[in-house]
Amino acid sequence: MSPSDAIYAKVVARDPDQPEFHQAVKEVLESLEPVLEANPQYISIVERVVEPERLIHFRVPWVDDDGNTQVNRGFRIQFNGAIGPYKGGLRFHPSVNTSILKFLAFEQIFKNSLTGLPMGGGKGGADFDPKGKSDGEVMRFCQSFMMELWRHIGHDCDVPAGDIGVGGREIGYMFGMYKRLQNEFQAGVLTGKGRSYGGSLIRPEATGYGLVYFAREMLATKGKSFKGATVSISGSGNVAQFACEKVLDLGGKPVTFSDSSGFIHDPEGIDRAKLAFVMDLKNNRRGRISEYAKEYPSATFTPSAPEPSVNGLWNVDVDV
């Protein structure tokens, strides 16, 4: 048995019910296999890297608008802080569990280290679904969530950010609660805040813009560009919105958006007016992407397939 196979077998034996985490570990170990065979002194280091330094699991009780108490599960995986404070997002989605967060936190170690900045890897969140909740319900949940999380984070310890289900609204609610509990204004404790209270310039745009810049460089190696190209974009949240904006800046024609309910295809293209509609729909009204097809007759909406791994959006004929 190879060193990587032996390490993987131990991971599976310890946590047999975590398939998402197993997949992430297996992919990393397969790429490291030649290194481990040539340098067996690194095996013990890898054995440590695949085990999180700390796994925090807590109850999050909150009160809905009808006065009923609801209970969700909260998590923070502080996976590896060898080179700096833990850094990684918070995800609010019904699918959140230990396996998914360990998978995300594990990959975050390597993503952060590749930036060249002194940041460790972490991830967290809750099995709470913000969709369909009022602002008051989301606020009460975020405040309850932070009442437990605050003691485990800090700008020199662990710096959470947003992720699926956690945008500027949720970050604002959590930062406000953190500030009250800590009795201190730590601007570096949560990233993704509004600029008026310690956030960074162009932070909301950064991921979507970066995605398009990366794709632009890849296209350039083939002598291609976004100019005049039809472009398929998956999602309709923060990253997808600003990816669409940058594609338009570069002369491309975005034609798709999606969410968990399905995807829209607009052969006429998603221009800046249509993008503004999507931003209002998703950021303010918290609606579903199907409403786009009702607003613009040129578009069609296709519901999600019963099998979540099948995404019909990728069958749309586009250039990019």
Cβ atoms within 10 Å, residue 148: 15
| Residue 122 · residue 85 · CB < 8 Å | no
Measure the CA–CA gap between 185 and 197, rounded to whole angstroms.
10
Residue 240's alpha-carbon distances to 208, 229, 234, 249, 275, in angstroms, are 6, 17, 7, 14, 10
Q: Which tokens belong to 303?
A: 């519901």
The catalytic residues are 123
Cβ atoms within 10 Å, residue 25: 25
Measure the CA–CA gap between 74 and 96, rounded to whole angstroms.
9
Residues across the chain: 320
Long-range Cβ contacts of 151-154 (<8 Å, 24+ apart) = 152/54, 152/56, 152/76, 152/78, 153/76, 153/178, 153/189, 154/85, 154/182, 154/186, 154/189
Q: Please give the distance of CA 302 from its chain centroid, rounded to a whole number.
A: 24
Closest CA to 115 of 90, 154, 153, 88: 88
Closest CA to 263 of 299, 289, 291: 289
| Residue 217 · residue 223 · CB < 8 Å | no
Measure the CA–CA gap between 165 and 169, rounded to whole angstroms.
10
